[in-house]
Amino acid sequence: MHSTELIEQIQRSLKEVVKHADELRDLDQALGDGDLGITITLGAGAVIEALEELPDGATPAEIARACAKAFANANPSTMAALVAGGLLAGSKTWKDLDDVDIAAAARFVKAAGDNIAQRGKTQIGDKTIVDAIMPAAEALDAGEDGASGLDAAIAAAEKAVVDTRSLRSRRGRAAWLQERSIGLQDPGATAMWRFLESWRTAGVPARS
């Protein structure tokens, strides 16, 4: 996937993902402070706009960096800063790359997940977005082509999201709920799952 195609794919995916804003807001109201819906809506809008402004021939790394910057500034929050830092870390794996294939996508998602885990001092099982990112990255890495890799990543993320229901939140505001967080689905992990689904719905899967 080259520059123009990548930009269009991201824009279409974000127009899809904002359809889940209410779901994310409701999940976040139960566990956190309820601003995830607005973070996603404003963030997606800002990214779509920022990508319009990019010069022709922007590299995938420059595109990812523009996404990070726009998302961080749209509605400043810890989640926005963590995601922006993740996208920044991912963009560094795309140095000298002009065609994003499934392997490049896997590298990106893995680096983003590692950065979020490190910055957030969190690990798999803490009931955060990292729970969904890491298995998705592994599934992408094992994928033979774009379509099947994406399908596997969505399935892995969905399983992780369902699994978060039985976990106790260990990071962020949600951790204050302690045992009462058990039974509630993690909004961050859900956001990652919905984003991957939106990427598929939006069309053109990454070529192998």
Partner 1 sequence: MKKIINKPEDFVNEMIEGIVLAHPDKLKNPGDDPRILVRADAPVAGKVGIVTGGGSGHLPLFKGYVGQGLCSGVAIGNVFSSPSSQQCFEATKAVDGGAGVLYLYGNYGGDVFNFDLAADLAELEDIETMTVLGRDDVASQPKENRQERRGVAGTLFAYKAAGAAAERGDTLEEVAAAAEDIVENTATMGIGLSPTILPTTGALSFDLPDGEMEIGIGIHGEPGIHRGPLETADAITDRLVDALVADLELADGDSVAVLVNGMGATPLEELYVMYRRVHHSLTSRGVSIGKNYVGEYATSLEMAGASISLLKLNDDRLALLEAPASSPFFQEV
Interacting residues with partner 1 (CB under 8 A): 65, 68-69, 72, 76, 78, 81-82, 84-85, 88, 115, 119-121
Q: Which is nearer to partner 1, 82 or 154 (CB)?
A: 82
CA distance 100 to 97: 7
Q: Which is nearer to partner 1, 65 or 110 (CB)?
A: 65
Beta carbon of residue 73, minimum distance to partner 1 (angstroms, whole number): 8
CA distance 162 to 17: 19
CA distance 1 to 42: 26
Q: Which is nearer to partner 1, 22 or 49 (CB)?
A: 49
Beta carbon of residue 50, minimum distance to partner 1 (angstroms, whole number): 11
Residue 67 dihedral angles phi and psi, to the nearest 5°:
-60, -45
State how far the alpha carbon of 182 is from the alpha carbons of 51, 56, 112, in Å.
39, 48, 26
SS3 content of the chain, % helix, strand, coil (to 5): 75, 0, 25
CA distance 24 to 125: 20
Helix (H, G, I), strand (E, B) or coil at 199: helix
Q: Which is nearer to partner 1, 62 or 141 (CB)?
A: 62
Q: Which is nearer to partner 1, 43 or 120 (CB)?
A: 120
Beta carbon of residue 157, minimum distance to partner 1 (angstroms, whole number): 23
